Chain A
């Protein structure tokens, strides 16, 4: 079975600086998808970014980018120019590829991101 590990329970960063959240995963599949979700205090789960394992290019969404290292099974999230609104729990998640669109996601335990003004 696949597992997702987030080794940083909490991270703190100054506003406007850059922070990187770590995620590693374990799977025997070659085709899969990785996600970062944000959960602010409202509890709403918000998709931040998605990476297809077959793509070598790292995904980018505005100030959010990933460093996907397939051989190392590592999938880190970089937030540039941190803003107060970025403060939230961040979850890394995995889903298998072919036929996996109907699968549930496997989540890590989350990283609590604090933004210092």
Chain B
């Protein structure tokens, strides 16, 4: 079955280190998204991509970067991890620009920055 996976599921790192969270989908979806979830804030959009070589900033993009070299993957990089980036990170994908397209979410990665 087609799916969307994230790795690692849990990560502990130190302040200042570079961290990359992986997201892989097998639906061949054009659109991919990264969100972070924090208590009291719901989910907030970090970055999104409409296709290969396309990336766009979301609401809370400072300190994060993404690159899209193929359809299946959208890795999220924290260039210099900060304690404020401790959160649960969700990747999602959707097929096209059609408004009713459903976004399918991965299982999430819990990141702790010490």
Q: Given the complex, which residues of B lie within 8 Å of A52, measured CB to CB?
A: 99-100
List the one stretch of A12-20, A67-75, A79-87, A107-115 in contact with chain B.
A107-115
Task: Bits for A81-105, please: 1 = Cβ < 8 Å to B, else 0.
Answer: 0000000000100011111111111
Q: Which of B91-114 contact A (CB under 8 A)?
A: 92, 94, 96-103, 105, 107-108
Pairwise interchain contact B99-A95, C-beta atoms closer than 8 A: yes
- Distance to closest chain A CB from B19 (angstroms): 19
**Bound complex: CA A95 to CA B31 (Å):** 14
**Bound complex: CA A105 to CA B97 (Å):** 13
List the one stretch of B20-28, B44-52, B78-86 in contact with chain A.
B44-52
Tell me the B residues contacting A by CB distance below 8 Å: 30-31, 33, 35, 40-45, 48, 50, 58-59, 88, 90, 92, 94, 96-103, 105, 107-108
Give 7 pairs: A residue, B residue, CB < 8 Å, sorted on A. A31-B99, A95-B99, A99-B97, A102-B50, A102-B97, A104-B35, A105-B43
Q: Which of A34-79 contact B (CB under 8 A)?
A: 42-45, 47, 50, 52
Whether A102 touches B31, Cβ cut-off 8 Å, given contacts A33-B99, A107-B43, is: yes
Pairwise interchain contact B30-A102, C-beta atoms closer than 8 A: yes
Pairwise interchain contact A107-B99, C-beta atoms closer than 8 A: no
Q: Given the complex, which residues of A lie within 8 Å of B45, measured CB to CB?
A: 104-106
Tell me the A residues contacting B by CB distance below 8 Å: 4, 31, 33, 42-45, 47, 50, 52, 91, 95-110
5 smallest A-B Cβ distances: which pairs?
A: A104-B45, A45-B105, A107-B42, A101-B97, A107-B43
**Bound complex: CA A52 to CA B59 (Å):** 24
Pairwise interchain contact B101-A101, C-beta atoms closer than 8 A: yes
